[in-house]
Amino acid sequence: MADAAAMIDVLAGEEGYRAAVDTPPPPLRIALVWRTPLGRPPMAAEHRRAVADTADRLRDLGHRVTEADLPLGARPWPQFMTRYLRGVADDVARLPHPEWLEPRTRRLAGAGARVPDRTLAWARTAEAGLHALMVGFFAEHDLILQPGWVRRPSRIGRYHGSGIATTLAAVGTHIPYFPTWNVMGYPVAAVPVGFDQVGMPIGVQLIGPTGSERLLLSLSGQYERAHPWTDRRPAL
pLDDT, tens digit, 9 for 90 and up, residues 85-119: 999 999 999 999 999 999 999 999 999 999 999 99
Is the pLDDT confidence value at 234 over 80?
no
- What confidence tier does 231 reach under pLDDT thresholds 50, 70, 90? confident
What domains can be seen in the chain, in order of their start residue?
2-73+126-226 (3.90.1300.10)
| Confidence at residue 177, expressed as pLDDT on a 0 to 100 scale | 98
Beta partners for residue 191, in sequence order: 204
| Confidence at residue 107, expressed as pLDDT on a 0 to 100 scale | 95
b/e sequence 35-53, b meaning 16+ C-beta within 10 Å: bbbeeebebbeebeebbee
Counting residues of the chain whose pLDDT is more than 70, the rounded percentage is 100
Beta partners for residue 66, in sequence order: 31
pLDDT, tens digit, 9 for 90 and up, residues 165-183: 999 999 999 999 999 999 9
| Confidence at residue 140, expressed as pLDDT on a 0 to 100 scale | 98
Amino acid at 62: G
| Confidence at residue 233, expressed as pLDDT on a 0 to 100 scale | 78
The rounded distance, in Å, linking the Cα atoms of 127 and 136 is: 16
The rounded distance, in Å, linking the Cα atoms of 62 and 95 is: 50
Laid out side by side, the sheet with 64-67 consists of: 64-67, 29-32, 143-147, 201-207, 188-195
pLDDT, tens digit, 9 for 90 and up, residues 40-68: 999 999 999 999 999 999 999 999 999 99
**Quick check: 59 and 214 in contact, CB under 8 A?**
no
| Confidence at residue 71, expressed as pLDDT on a 0 to 100 scale | 98
The rounded distance, in Å, linking the Cα atoms of 37 and 160 is: 28
pLDDT, tens digit, 9 for 90 and up, residues 120-169: 999 999 999 999 999 999 999 999 999 999 999 999 999 988 999 999 99
The rounded distance, in Å, linking the Cα atoms of 57 and 30 is: 12
Three-state SS for 102?
coil
**Quick check: 73 and 181 in contact, CB under 8 A?**
no
